[in-house]
Copies of this chain bind each other. A is one copy, B any other.
Amino acid sequence: MTSTLPPRTDAPETAHPLTTAAAASTAVSTPLPLRDVVVDDAFWSPRIDQVRLRTIPVQRAQLERVGHLRALAGAPAPEDGVPHVFWDSDVAKWIEAASNSLATHPDPALDADVDAVIELLAAAQQPDGYLNTHFTTVAPEQRYTDLRDAHELYCAGHLIEAGVAHHAATGKTSLLDVVVRLADHIGTVFGRGPGQLRGYDGHEEVELALVKLARATGERRHLELASYFVEERGQEPYFFDAEAERRGTPGWFGEHFAGLDHPGRTREYLQAHAPVREQHEAVGHSVRAMYLYSAMADLALEDADDSLLQACQRLWCHLLSTRTYVTGGIGSTVVNEGFTRDYDLPTETAYAETCAAIGLVMWAQRMLRIDRDRRYGDVMELALHNAVLAGISEDGERFFYDNVLASRGGVERHEWFEVACCPPNIARLLTSLGTYAFAQAPDELLVHLHLGGSVVFETSAGQAAVDVTTTAPWGGRTTLVVTQATGAPFTLSVRVPAWASSTAVTVDGAPLEAAEHVGEDGYLSVTRTWRVGDELDLQLGVQTRRLWADPRVTSEAGHVVLTRGPFVYAAEEADNRAPLVDLRVGRRAEPRPVEVPGLPGVVGLQMRGERVVREGSGLYQDEPPHRVPTDLTLVPYYAWANRGPGEMRVWLGDAER
């Protein structure tokens, strides 16, 4: 990070440039702090408002209902039962989402409520800085005895993220102080020094959180602790083997898997099978993997560590070329909540956990900082508009934990989950969307996501500001109007997605040759001395595309998927007669954008297709099926299952396969 910005108390991520040299310093960028982005977007603003007005209160009520807040104050009440062992993380993610919301939408009642919850947490912190209410109230004697399963440092990581977000949003240090003490406590316990526990957590999270804390406080020691956790992972002798032997019990989740030859029992499940720089494939539990890779990318940037960056690039390439669903979802099976083998992407049994897609968005954002390339932005956009957004209902109150790509009916979102990692994860992501959409590099504003709003950013000649309006995600026009200039040149850069069928650019109405201004990184960049009122207009061609899968993806052989802009489309029983497996899509028919009954504001696609008809009966028969013309209506995948639990299919039969 080579920013020359002065420290700013309201912008912790940019406050303390820790990086001495970046791996590719000219490309390095920094997400805009949340308070410098006012989102005003026809598609996203209502969703963010929904999170603010409905999801956050609903989740607050759920935390109350299931006893997680009562449990903070002491042992869980008998009538509540013992929550899952990492209940602190649900509370932390709620605080983070609420803080994000407070950053742009002051709300004294919510502010006070957050303060009250923070007070419970502060009171639960032990004199030595330890903070984990399960292990202080339920099983104090087991502290740090089950790093593999018990999520102690995972919880700490979410508390640290919450503390950083709360400080950034409110300027208050009430939780930041708590988590600094917690981080320092962890730093005394873990490490390679004498008497220290040379371990790491089975569920990564604390690593990326410590980087955030380092950036917020300017304290390198947090960065060094993050680096220790990342580098120690997978070193021999394997920590978890020794830990299990020491403990002599199966571990928190050990009973669950007993006697099974379960991938969860392998080191790969925990990304602890090899030192991280020697990991070449995305393996194991997919959320854990994303959080680890995010921390690796953070450290590659902070330490200008080319070898770590290359490890990230290698993992990225492997993941995206072999183990990612067309929706941006990841994780092929419930068995290990994660990866299986290359090209194994079953649709009806897809796991594609909402949290894993969020993790992919997080990792993509971090890769983009250090390795500016639109492919990261494309994936961030893809996962956000499909795999993530499917995780929440149109009314903001129901959630998918796993996201299938085909359903024979009966699949619906739920109000809450016993392990409720996904709902608050969506909430904290949507409330911080501005910081994923916009970044700044020296004398440059980067628009990663086509998101409407007003942004303020720093240049070497002072603060500048731009208003962004966009017809995305349904349309392809994005316009930047300069609202504050500096008198000196700076660059406005906007990602041109790979899906764009054409690119037309004007500056103040005068056409530019787009090809000359779109760099190898896939960003349209225009540098000049911008003046207030200047307008950069980008018109992307939005056409329906057909995509076919690599033939090694056997579950999708002979099938085609339709996309339009950032959206992957799906057929739903609400619009098409079941069974949907009988539908065929030709290669030429051009779909018409249409309104969809029951999904206001959503652009559907309508086209002529075919339906396979069988005259015979019996499980196997020698009467060949034939095809008759039919109308097909498709909806964006994210919008499915809002009109009843009917059939759904993303991949449709290719009539000419």
Contact = CB atoms under 8 A, between A and B. Distances in A.
Interface stretch (A431-439, A489-497, A622-630, A633-641): A622-630
Contacts of A612: 551, 557-558, 657
A263 to B, nearest CB: 14
B625 A548 contact: yes
A104 interface: no
A579 interface: yes
11 contacts: A255-B259, A256-B258, A257-B259, A258-B258, A548-B614, A549-B619, A549-B620, A551-B582, A551-B625, A554-B581, A558-B653
Interface stretch (A53-61, A220-228, A318-326): A318-326
The 6 closest A-B pairs by CB, nearest first: A256-B259, A547-B620, A557-B581, A554-B581, A551-B582, A550-B619
Copies in the complex: 2
Given A552-B579, A624-B654, 13 more contacts: A321-B619, A324-B619, A408-B554, A548-B625, A550-B614, A550-B618, A554-B579, A557-B581, A557-B582, A558-B612, A558-B657, A560-B624, A584-B657
Given A256-B259, A260-B256, A657 B625 contact: yes
A251 B626 CA distance: 53
A619 B324 CA distance: 8
* Interface size of A as a range: 35 or more
A546 interface: yes
Contacts of A581: 551-552, 554, 557
A83 to B, nearest CB: 17
A312 to B, nearest CB: 19
A348 B554 contact: yes
Contacts of A547: 620-622
A437 to B, nearest CB: 24
Interface string A529-555: 000000000000000011111111110
Contacts of A418: none
Nearest to A552: B579
A587 B624 CA distance: 8
A446 B547 CA distance: 57
